[in-house]
Amino acid sequence: MIKAVVLDFDGTLAVLNIDFSAMTKKILSFIEEHGISRESLRERYILETIDEASSILLRREGSLAEQFREKAHKMLREKELEAASQSRLFPGVESMLRKLRIAGVKVGIITRNCDGAVRRIFPHIGSLCDAFLPRDSVKRVKPDPHHLATLLDILRVSGNDAIMVGDHPMDILAGKRVGMRTVGVLTGRTTRDELLETGADYVLESASQVTSLIERLNR
Ligand SMILES: [Mg+2]
């Protein structure tokens, strides 16, 4: 029985127009300005890269690390807010969220994006879901299991009774780590094959098809 659905935001509920490669370039040159070569970094994704550089700085000269982190996050937020002003919800998203509520299915939304950018696209997000956890609200973001585990706690459901929906392999990975069934959607930049390779249990054209999937699973 599916009692809760957790949805990713960008690329799942809203048009994904964040230019991650431009963002990464900008952050990497900022990191290099601090005497850390990009070749020495192991992390692949931008938030984790900032954390990695900041712990290198902390070991080197503690006082700079916090300042670096704050500035890097400020640069990130500026880009995210800029992208948000050009984004919008996909058609059918609001009615899908209402249908889930009527069906008695709890809804959670999690994202690695910042609170401000999401609310710029979806100002009344709070009234259409039971819990919303942007990166500002948690210590570690998905694919770290902490992000989803925190949300499931708030919703008071176990991973076995919930389904994770997202457009990125990270969403699938995060869901699997807490025992959820996972649904990949094709409205982002990842292909069906990539989502299936990561272990997605289902792949849908868009998140608005989630309501019929749940009806089917709960029948
Ligand atoms: Mg996404």
Quick: pLDDT tens for 5-62.
Answer: 999 999 999 999 999 999 999 999 999 999 999 999 999 899 999 999 999 999 987 7
Residue 111 Cα to ligand 1 middle (Å)? 7
Residue 216 Cα to ligand 1 middle (Å)? 25
Residue 68 Cα to ligand 1 middle (Å)? 26
- What pLDDT is stored for residue 45 in this prediction? 92
Residue with tokens 């990713």: 8
Residue 60 Cα to ligand 1 middle (Å)? 34
Residue 62 Cα to ligand 1 middle (Å)? 34
Dump pLDDT digits (tens) for 85-138. 999 999 999 999 999 999 999 999 999 999 999 999 999 999 999 999 999 999
Contact 50, 72 (CB under 8 A): yes
Residue 165 Cα to ligand 1 middle (Å)? 9
Percent of the chain residues past pLDDT 90, beyond the cut? 96
Residue 85 Cα to ligand 1 middle (Å)? 17
Q: How far is CA 93 from CA 71, 114, 195, 208, 210, in A?
A: 34, 20, 21, 6, 10
Residue 163 Cα to ligand 1 middle (Å)? 15
Distance CA 93, CA 124 (A): 13
Q: Which fold has domain 4-16+87-218?
A: Rossmann fold (3.40.50)
Dump pLDDT digits (tens) for 146-187. 999 999 999 999 999 999 999 999 999 999 999 999 999 999
- What pLDDT is stored for residue 62 in this prediction? 78
- What pLDDT is stored for residue 22 in this prediction? 93
Residue 32 Cα to ligand 1 middle (Å)? 28
- This prediction has a pTM of 0.95
Torsion 140-187-176-104 (CA) sign: positive
Dump pLDDT digits (tens) for 61-71. 778 899 999 99
Residue 171 Cα to ligand 1 middle (Å)? 7
Residue 11 Cα to ligand 1 middle (Å)? 4
Residue 35 Cα to ligand 1 middle (Å)? 32
Residue 170 Cα to ligand 1 middle (Å)? 8
